[in-house]
Amino acid sequence: MNRRAFIALLGGVATPLFLSPRASRAQQRRRIGVLSSTSETDPEGQRRTAALRQGLRELGWIEGRTIEIDYRWVAGDPGRARALAAELVASKPDVIIASPSSVLAAVQRETRTIPIVFAQVVDPVGAGFVASLARPGGNITGFASFEFALGAKWLELLKQIAPSVTRVAVIYDPATPAATGFLPMIDAAGRAFGVDVSMSSVRDTAEVERVLTGFAAEPNGGLIAVASALIANQRDFIISLAHRLRLPDVSAFRYYPANGGLASYGVDNIDLYKRAAAYVDRILKGEKPADLPVQLANKYELVINLKAAKALGIEIPVAVLARTDEVIE
């Protein structure tokens, strides 16, 4: 072998052995895809992703160093959810985080092989995402939010805050199948508390306005907005309209009173996103979603907005304030 050929051979063999530290770290990065139901500028979406990043960071996964995270934002648009889910799956990440149910369903349609971790999903078994809570059995696992019985708590809370309420409008998104699971519970609670419950499916702000304006034509009304991607993304409009129509309002998550709504009772969903990081960590280290049991929420919070109460002429009972986790003034 001549000298030139020998040097060339050495060069070809040596090249992969002497990668720069930066190149070596880049090769070791794992890729995570995140599909969120909110818009990128939504404070709630930012809180969710911040909790996820914090959870990952505490487990040693640093964005830009050991992991790359590809964010996609649905902004409450079902058509956009389908397109972004397909796009995200095509990029072949190591694991996908998708929440809530409407977004998770879009990703499930696109892949049965890429591991998926969810947070804030109601009834994952009934929705067909997993075979059982103990043994998910497929490529999906995660952290479920709450049981349908919570619907009764919303009506009870509304009645405690505003005892004069004798009629309640319940609005829900029919595109979110799990939302309908709360309706029988709310209806049963209405009968127990002597409250007339009126349930209406809504698909956009025009339907919300039509339903609530017609409902508010008679006195002593209140509102329960059943949580969904639609309700979350249209919350500013719903809250503003409810207060203009003098309807005391209750929903499931903190972001509702944080944006001016009267009250919320439900899961601390930000905690679920932080906990989801633990399953991402375990999957990246080789475990399978099928072997990771679905975990249930264990932190609940009652939040009251006193400014909203004052604007509605409501005096929050001391007994309610005493058990409130957060008072927004």
pLDDT top residue among 179 and 135: 135
Amino acid at the residue 35: L
3-state DSSP call for residue 239? helix
How much is the pTM?
0.85
Residue 22: predicted pLDDT: 43
Q: Is the pLDDT of residue 8 over 90?
A: no
Q: List, by residue range, all CATH 3.40.50.2300 domains of the chain.
A: 3-145+269-298, 150-267+301-328
pLDDT in tens, 26-49: 457 999 999 999 999 999 999 999
What is the phi/psi pair of residue 58, to 5°? -65, -20
The two structure tokens encoding residue 91: 């990029």
Mean pLDDT of 253-279: 96
User: Does residue 4 register a pLDDT over 80?
Assistant: no
Taking the C-alpha atoms of residue 262 and residue 249, their distance in angstroms, rounded to an integer, is 5
Cα(178)–Cα(207) distance, integer angstroms: 20
**pLDDT given for residue 145 in this prediction:** 87
pLDDT of residue 229: 84
Task: Say if residue 18's pLDDT is above 70.
Answer: no
What average pLDDT does range 239-263 have in this prediction?
A: 97
Residue closest to 174 by CA, chosen among 149, 125, 207: 207
The pLDDT, as a whole number, for residue 10 is 45
Superfamily of domain 3-145+269-298 in the CATH hierarchy: Response regulator (3.40.50.2300)
Would you say 321 and 302 are in contact if contact means Cβ atoms under 8 Å apart? no
* pLDDT score recorded for residue 7: 43
**pLDDT of 282-303, one tens digit each?**
999 999 999 999 999 999 999 9
Helix axes 101-110, 78-90, angle to 10 degrees: 40
3-state secondary structure 4-20: HHHHHHHHHHHHHHHCC
CA distance 223 to 197: 10
User: How many other CB atoms are there within 10 angstroms of residue 191's CB atom?
Assistant: 10
Residue 230: predicted pLDDT: 87
Do residues 139 and 104 touch, judged by C-beta distance below 8 A?
no
**Would the pLDDT of 11 be above 90?**
no
Mean pLDDT over all residues of the chain? 91
Whether 182 has a pLDDT exceeding 90, the answer reads yes
21 has pLDDT over 80:
no
From the options 2.40.110.10, 2.40.30.10, 3.10.350.10, 3.40.50.2300, give the CATH code of 150-267+301-328. 3.40.50.2300
pLDDT, tens digit, 9 for 90 and up, residues 147-170: 889 999 999 999 999 999 999 999
Span 80-85, average pLDDT:
94
Cis, peptide link before residue 184, omega less than 30° from 0: no
Please list the residues that pair with 326 across neighbouring strands.
303
The C-alpha atoms of residue 323 and residue 199 are separated, in whole angstroms, by 29
Q: What is the pLDDT of residue 28?
A: 72
pLDDT in the model for residue 17: 41
Is pLDDT above 80 for 236?
yes
Average pLDDT over residues 6-12: 46
Q: What is the pLDDT of residue 67?
A: 97
Residue 78's pLDDT is 81
